[in-house]
Structure 1
Amino acid sequence: ENNNCDVQRRHLVNDVSLWYRAFEPSLYAPAVRQAIAGAVKSIGTGPWGAGVWYGDSQQYFLAMWLATSLLSHRPQLDYYIYDHFCENPGNQCFVLGAQGCAACVAKSGVASISAARCGRASVQDMVQEFSNKPAVALYNALSRVGPPPTQVFDLLAPMAPRLGSMLQTPAGLP
C-alpha cells in the first residue's frame, strides 16, 4: 500500500512484456492479426498492476504507457483514474501529484491510504516530460528509479535534464 514496495519497481521488463503480449497484433495467429490491429484503436484501463496486488500506481501507469508506445498499430492509451477502485481503493490518487492527490485520498475514505505519501509530480507532468522522447528514454529512466519512500514520479522529475543521455538501448533488449 501507499506505493511503498521497492520490488514492484524492479520487474519493469516483465510488466512491459505482459502488457505488450496482450495487445501486440503480430503475436496473435496470422488469421486475426489484421482484425486486431484494425479493431483495437484505443486501450481503456484503470489501475492495471496496482489493483488487487496493491501495486504502485505510478510505476504501473508508466509501464503501461511504455508498453503501449511499443505496439505496432499505435493504439491510444485511455487511462482512467478512480478515487475508490474496488481493488486497492485510493491508491490511484497518487498519480495526481500535489494538485489533487490529498483531496482524492480524502474523498476515497480509505484509512490505510495516507495523503502524507502524496508526491509533487503528477501523471500530467510525466506525460509532458516523456511525450516527445523515444520510448527508450522512459525505459532507462524507470530502470534507474530509486526505492520508496519517494514516489516514482518525484524520482523521475529531476532526471528530465539528463533524458538526452538515456537514449542508448540497454544490452539484451531488441
Structure 2
Amino acid sequence: MAAPIILTRADAARTIAETLLGDSGNRFRHTAGVAERASGLALRLGLDEDLLVAAAWLHDIGYASPLIETGFHPIDGARHLTREGWPAQIAGLVAYHSGARFVADVRGLSTELAEFPDERNLISDVLTYADQTVGPRGDRVEPETRYTEMLHRHGPCSFNAQADPLRRPYLRAIATRVEYLLHQN
C-alpha cells in the first residue's frame, strides 16, 4: 500500500500562487524567489518553515485580476485567503507584509486592513525581509536596492512614495533586526 500524500500549507500555497500568478512573468518569479528565500531564512533562524513559506508563496496573490477588490494587493490577497478558509495568521501575514500598513493609511484603507491580525513578530519580519531581498525577476538584491526599484516602478506621486517617510525607516529597521539575527546564527 502506498503511503498517503500529505500536502503542507506551503505546498497548497504554491499551487494557489502558480494558479493565480503563474502566467504573470516577473510577478511569479519574484514570488517563487521570496518563497525560496523564506525557506532558507526559516531554517537558519529556527522558525516555522511551513508557515513562513506558505505566507511567502501567498504574499502577492492579491495582484491577480480575479481577486482585485480594493486595488491594494495585500488586502485583496488576505480577503481571498479568508474566504477560502486559510488561517487568520497567514491572512494577516499577507495583509501586513512589507509595511503595508503605511501604504494602507495613505490609501484610506486602514479600516479594511484592520480586518486582519497584525502579528509584528519575527515571522512577519522575516517575511518582509524575504520580500525586500528578492528583486522583480526572483534574483537576490539588497533591501535598499529593492526599495528604490519599487519606488521608481510605482512613481514619485504613488501611494508608495507618499508612505515613504514612515515606511522606509520601518523596512530598514526590519532589515537590521533580521541581519543581526543572521549574523548571530
Q: Please say whether Structure 1 and Structure 2 have the same fold, judged by a TM-score greater than 0.5.
A: no
Greater per-residue strand proportion? 1
TM-score of the superposed pair, with normalisation by structure 2: 0.27
Greater per-residue helix proportion? 2
